[in-house]
Amino acid sequence: MKPADFEFVSTMVRERSGLVLSADKTYLVESRLAPIARKDGFASIDDLISAIRVRRDAKLIESVVDAMTTNETFFFRDKTPFDIFEQSILPELVARKRGGTIKVWCAAASTGQEPYSLAMIAEALGPKLGGCKLEILGTDISERCLEKAKAGIYTQFEVQRGLPVQMLLKHFKKEGDAWKIDDRLKTNIRYRTMNLLDDFRALGKFDVIFCRNVLIYFDMPTKKMVLERMAQQVEGAGYLLLGAAETVLGVTDSFKPVAGSRGLYVQDPSKLATKAAA
């Protein structure tokens, strides 16, 4: 790939998704563009990029951006955030909500394993939720991933990653070579295409936001923008969960770390009020 073509693609991807592609990612870009070029009948990656430059075809651009985003996920990924959700966050919110609705936003839902993992936790707790209902919104920039999430159908390999056998047998049914999640777990989950660079105020307020393993791909100004806008979407002293390699420290003061809970942050209402007044 020519340097000018790499710069064109990386700029387009950054502007449309926030994802920063460093120069050492040339091979990655080539490997992900090659299948698109073949699928759409281009003789080479160069021809694909030339066509995008000339035609500015929205579908083609969407395919390229989708291919560049990382959709790595699996059930109960990293385990710790789910333990924190079950053992710390939910008990506090159940006491606070007193039978109301607990709203969770999975801001990078990918193919749905994270929202479904949270739904399994809620179902297992049953009466311990004190009559509270868990509502989960899963958003992602990739329509392709969200279609899979909505279907709730996973391969043998996908269900073996992080999902205990007893949960697999309880919540899934075998369909040929695949496994389909029980419809009852879909009841309080909805999915929506969302670019984190766009305005998401219309989504409403949430008690908990999961935004894991996304910010690591953004530059500092974009991280700050996304986090401070998320702070506006958190209800009261709500929670934010980030990936193990991510932090709000040095990025924004709208959230503060919760001692002893890696990756967990709570909104600082005083900082939010100061920003709003300014």
pLDDT-derived band at 248 (thresholds 50, 70, 90) equals: very high
Secondary structure, 3-state, 57-82:
CHHHHHHHHHHHCCCCCCCCCCCHHH
Burial annotation 151-173 (CB, 10 A radius, 16+ → b, else e)? ebbbeeebbeebbeeebbeebbe
Overall average pLDDT of the 97-110 stretch: 95
Q: Is the pLDDT of residue 184 over 60?
A: yes
Residue 35 CB coordination number (10 Å): 11
pLDDT digits (tens, 9 = 90+) for 253-267: 999 999 989 999 998
Overall average pLDDT of the 197-201 stretch: 92
Asked if 101 and 133 count as a contact pair (C-beta separation under 8 A), the reply is yes
Return the higher-pLDDT residue of 269 and 90: 90
Structure tokens at 201: 């105020």
Overall average pLDDT of the 222-229 stretch: 95
Position 271 scores a pLDDT of 57
Judging by beta carbons within 10 Å of its beta carbon (0-12, 13-18, 19+), is residue 271 exposed, middle or buried? middle
Q: Is the pLDDT of residue 206 over 60?
A: yes
Among 115, 133, 107, 102, smallest CA distance to 210 is for 107
End-to-end CA distance of the chain: 47
Angle ∠(265,273,85) on CA atoms, nearest 5? 20
pLDDT digits (tens, 9 = 90+) for 119-172: 999 999 999 999 999 999 999 999 999 999 999 999 999 999 999 999 999 999
Position 55 scores a pLDDT of 82
Among 176, 162, 157, 150, smallest CA distance to 121 is for 162
Which of 28-32, 150-154, 235-239, 274-278 is predicted with the least confidence, judged by mean pLDDT?
Answer: 274-278
Tokens 């694909």 correspond to: 48
Rg (CA), the chain: 20
Tokens 């079950």 correspond to: 86
DSSP annotation of 258: P
Structure tokens at 104: 């969770």
